[in-house]
């Protein structure tokens, strides 16, 4: 008889097995409740998988998390993929990772359509009026949160300052900043290894949650042992899927078509997302707003607000960017604006997350053989420090568009400034969660849109 999670808590016994169907139900549920950004999503998985269900031990959970934090891409989605792969082979990982993303994709397609179709309606406009200053405060808080973990000494502060000057003063491309920081970390660690020692990630929870299905001493299953032939097979399949998808886009849309350009651009974005979604947003802005003009700067702020208010990894804001771009550029013609936007969002999601699956399915067996021996953290430390400067630049960019919506020559938006300051105080002083904050600011914006015209 299979033990239930509640029974496990009582008799302190590990589950004898975890069926694929049982895991599927959990990953589907996780896709709809994974609010709160990476820290919140990882906390949910820890509570469910380590403490309640005991599918994996504390030590194995944190070891997998450490690896995912070294990778470009959303670490929470990669962690789900890793655990799903460890328990149920390749398809287990694909299902876990895909279900982490798909609910967010469908929700964002719906919200993006509402935004474009009804964005000028006073109610919708009022809601976004309140959300924009809240997003500015959230991005500033993200810079502070990452900075407190990454800026451990003068070297790290100098790297952060240099990255800020590079992107703010010289519009240096984000990949160039990442590469430069990685090189500083790589060569600097050889001379001063203590300077670039990696900090402690999301923290560790207390031990003592009872026996687990995958315990500290459970040997890696057969599929989790390194094999050159298997590695080559997975790599070949992944690269083949990328070539097949890109070839189909070129055949359908041409080399310069909107969908093809999106596929190529977001493939590059997926490989430079060190430091999380906030770190890659400046790169997405440079390409999507400045270069390709798929959307405007204010629309980018609105998209981030939608991304913050939906489940799934925050990097899913790229689905909003793609939907707007597919709609504006009429990817499938003027008679199919919704379908063009939905297809663009789906294409971009595929190209953004394909590398994440490959990182886990290819690198997982090597990680399983290196418990307690993960290295190569110095470049990541330097990159994370550089990311702080990049995110600070993003916060200033958002503040400019929110507080001076018509540019410095126009009027200063006092109400937006008040909402932004109040949101910052709520985040920094009172530790208010993102969802309650967005809800309160949306309500303020809605009330302002209703009452202010009547007061004039």
Distances from the Cα of 402 to the Cα of 256, 443, 449, angstroms: 33, 17, 16
The pLDDT of residue 208 is 55
Question: Is residue 134's pLDDT more than 50?
Answer: yes
* C-beta separation of 74 from 64 below 8 A: no
Q: Which carries the bigger pLDDT value, residue 62 or residue 245?
A: 245
Nearest CA-CA partner of 266 in 304, 305, 337, 315? 315
* Residue 151 placed within a domain: yes
Number of residues that make up the chain: 456
What is the tens place of the pLDDT at every residue in 145-169?
A: 778 877 889 999 999 999 999 989 9
Q: Which residue has the tokens 């109040």?
A: 422
Across residues 398-415, what is the average pLDDT? Answer: 88
Angle between helices 37-45 and 75-118 (to 10 degrees): 130
Kindly give, in sequence order, each residue whose CB lies less than 8 Å from that of residue 276, ignoring residues fewer than 6 positions away: 38, 74, 75, 146, 314, 315, 387
Query: Residue 205 in 3-state DSSP?
Result: coil
Most confident of 167-181, 182-196, 320-334, 396-410: 320-334
* C-beta separation of 323 from 302 below 8 A: no
Q: Using a CB cutoff of 8 Å and minimum separation of 24, what contacts does 173-178 make?
A: 173/283, 173/286, 174/272, 174/279, 174/280, 174/282, 174/283, 174/286, 174/390, 175/268, 175/272, 175/283, 177/386, 177/390, 178/272, 178/274, 178/383, 178/386
Question: Is residue 370's pLDDT more than 90?
Answer: no
Give the integer Cα–Cα distance in Å for 36 and 313: 9
- Tokens coding 270: 């997926």
Give the integer Cα–Cα distance in Å for 234 and 228: 10
Give the integer Cα–Cα distance in Å for 451 and 456: 9
Q: Which carries the bigger pLDDT value, residue 307 or residue 412?
A: 412
* Residue 4 placed within a domain: no
Q: Using a CB cutoff of 8 Å and minimum separation of 24, what contacts does 232-240 make?
A: 234/90, 234/358, 234/361, 234/362, 235/358, 235/362, 238/354, 238/357, 238/358, 238/361, 238/362
Question: Is residue 188's pLDDT more than 60?
Answer: yes
The pLDDT of residue 200 is 43
Asked whether the CA dihedral 198, 398, 320, 126 is positive or negative, the reply is positive
Facing residues of 56 across strands?
214
What are the φ/ψ torsions at residue 24 (nearest 5 degrees)? -55, -45
Give the integer Cα–Cα distance in Å for 102 and 313: 11
The pLDDT of residue 193 is 83
Tell me how far apart the terminal alpha carbons of the chain are, to the nearest angstrom. 70
Percentage of the chain modeled with pLDDT above 90: 44
DSSP-derived letter for residue 222 is G
Give the integer Cα–Cα distance in Å for 369 and 372: 9
Q: Which residue has the tokens 């984000």?
A: 174
The pLDDT of residue 250 is 97
Nearest CA-CA partner of 364 in 21, 97, 186? 97
Q: Which carries the bigger pLDDT value, residue 384 or residue 130?
A: 130
Kindly give, in sequence order, each residue whose CB lies less than 8 Å from that of residue 171, ignoring residues fewer than 6 positions away: 286
What is the tens place of the pLDDT at every residue in 409-449?
A: 889 999 999 999 999 999 999 988 877 888 899 899 999 88
The pLDDT of residue 453 is 58
**Domain count along the chain:** 1
* Residue 420 placed within a domain: yes
* Residue 326 placed within a domain: yes
Give the integer Cα–Cα distance in Å for 320 and 343: 12
Across residues 157-184, what is the average pLDDT? Answer: 88
Most confident of 20-24, 221-225, 362-366: 20-24
The pLDDT of residue 391 is 80
Question: Is residue 9's pLDDT more than 50?
Answer: no
Question: Is residue 4's pLDDT more than 50?
Answer: no
Give the integer Cα–Cα distance in Å for 61 and 42: 10
Q: Which residue has the tokens 């053989």?
A: 369
* Residue 219 placed within a domain: no
Nearest CA-CA partner of 391 in 289, 278, 276? 278
Nearest CA-CA partner of 360 in 103, 101, 90? 90
The pLDDT of residue 198 is 54
Across residues 389-414, what is the average pLDDT? Answer: 86
* Residue 153 placed within a domain: yes
What are the φ/ψ torsions at residue 232 (nearest 5 degrees)? -65, -35
**Average per-residue pLDDT for the chain:** 85
Give the integer Cα–Cα distance in Å for 325 and 291: 12
DSSP notation for 59-123:
HHHHHHHHHHHTSSS-HHHHHHHHHHHHHHHHHHHHHHHHHHHHHHHHHHHHHHHHHHHHTTSHH
Facing residues of 214 across strands?
56
CA 176 remoteness from chain centre = 20
Tell me how crowded residue 113 is: count the other CB atoms within 10 A of its CB. Answer: 16
* Residue 31 placed within a domain: no
What is the tens place of the pLDDT at every residue in 236-282?
A: 999 999 999 999 999 999 999 999 999 999 999 898 776 666 777 87
* C-beta separation of 53 from 26 below 8 A: yes
Question: Is residue 19's pLDDT more than 90?
Answer: yes
* Residue 42 placed within a domain: no
Question: Is residue 329's pLDDT more than 90?
Answer: yes
**Which domain range does residue 347 map to?**
105-199+226-455
What is the tens place of the pLDDT at every residue in 96-114?
A: 999 999 999 999 999 999 9
């Amino acid at each position: 008889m299979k033990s239930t999670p509640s029974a496990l808590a009582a008799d302190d016994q590990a589950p004898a097995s975890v069926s694929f169907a049982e895991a599927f139900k959990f990953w589907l549920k996780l896709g709809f409740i994974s609010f709160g950004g990476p820290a919140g999503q990882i906390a949910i998985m820890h509570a469910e998988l380590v403490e309640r269900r005991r599918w994996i031990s504390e030590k194995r959970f944190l070891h997998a998390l450490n690896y995912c934090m070294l990778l470009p891409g959303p670490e929470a989605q990669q962690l789900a993929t890793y655990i799903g792969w460890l328990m149920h082979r390749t398809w287990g990982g694909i299902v876990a990772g895909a279900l982490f993303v798909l609910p967010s994709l469908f929700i964002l397609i719906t919200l993006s359509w509402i935004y474009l179709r009804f964005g000028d309606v006073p109610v919708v406009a009022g809601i976004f009026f309140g959300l924009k200053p809240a997003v500015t405060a959230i991005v500033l808080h993200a810079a502070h949160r990452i900075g407190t973990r990454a800026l451990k000494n003068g070297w790290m502060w100098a790297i952060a300052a240099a990255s800020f000057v590079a992107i703010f003063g010289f519009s240096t491309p984000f990949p160039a900043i990442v590469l430069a920081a990685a090189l500083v970390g790589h060569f600097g660690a050889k001379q001063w290894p203590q300077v670039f020692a990696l900090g402690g990630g999301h923290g560790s929870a207390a031990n003592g949650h009872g026996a687990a299905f995958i315990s500290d001493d459970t040997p890696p299953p057969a599929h989790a042992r390194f094999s050159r032939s298997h590695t080559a097979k997975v790599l070949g399949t992944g690269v083949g899927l990328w070539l097949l998808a890109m070839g189909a886009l070129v055949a359908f849309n041409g080399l310069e078509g909107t969908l093809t350009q999106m596929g190529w651009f977001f493939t590059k974005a997926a490989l430079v997302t060190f430091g999380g979604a906030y770190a890659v947003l400046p790169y997405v802005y440079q390409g999507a707003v400045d270069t390709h003009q798929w959307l405007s700067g204010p629309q980018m702020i609105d998209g981030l607000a939608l991304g913050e208010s939906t489940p799934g990894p925050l990097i899913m804001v790229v689905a909003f960017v793609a939907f707007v771009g597919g709609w504006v550029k009429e990817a499938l013609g003027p008679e199919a604006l919704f379908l063009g936007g939905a297809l663009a969002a789906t294409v971009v999601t595929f190209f953004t997350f394909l590398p994440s699956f490959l990182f886990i399915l290819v690198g997982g067996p090597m990680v399983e053989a290196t418990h307690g021996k993960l290295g190569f953290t110095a470049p990541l430390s330097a990159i994370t420090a550089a990311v702080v400067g990049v995110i600070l630049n993003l916060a200033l960019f958002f503040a400019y568009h929110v507080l001076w919506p018509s540019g410095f020559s126009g009027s200063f938006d006092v109400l937006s400034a008040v909402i932004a300051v109040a949101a910052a105080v709520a985040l920094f002083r009172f530790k208010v969660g993102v969802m309650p904050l967005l809800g309160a600011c949306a309500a303020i914006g809605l009330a302002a849109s209703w009452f202010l015209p009547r007061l004039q």
